[in-house]
Amino acid sequence: MELNIFQNYFNSILKKLWNRFTKLDREISFYTYICLKYGIPPKELYNSTLHQHTLILKKNRVELEEVYSSILKKIGSPKEKWSSVDSFVKAVSREVKSAQHTKTKLNFIELIVLRNLLKRQNMRISTSTFTKLLKLYLELLEKRGI
């Protein structure tokens, strides 16, 4: 049950980002969506290159779905839109915060941690991240009326 609540929350964030991209034409929403969906740090996406459907990052490669790679080709890379990697990372952070409608707003790294936990990947988390996830869980339970 706990993982379902978190999975629904994570999926809702992805859906909100996708909707913000399609309805508001916000390119940063798409970049943030790609970062969260595939677990790509914004710094790596900023410095990445796209070859067909493969996003080539500093240390590895990510196979994008065809629809995402075609959108990325159409709108271009973040490096073409933002003057520096720091400004892009800040824009992703702001977009992550605006896509969440809870009191406990997770930052980008905490959402990636949540994504990895939902994929049942073993990982160590800090006490502060655990506390934020616990608070989020309690908020989500409260919203469901449980």
| Regions in the chain scoring below 70 on pLDDT | 1-2, 145-146
pTM: 0.92
DSSP 53: T
In the block, which residue shows the tokens 């970049």?
31
- pLDDT of 91 reads 97
- pLDDT of 123 reads 84
Q: Where are the beta strands (DSSP E) in the chain?
A: 49-51, 54-56, 61-63
- List pLDDT tens digits, range 93-131: 999 999 998 899 999 999 999 999 999 888 889 999 999
Q: Are strands 61-63 and 54-56 parallel, antiparallel or unpaired?
A: antiparallel
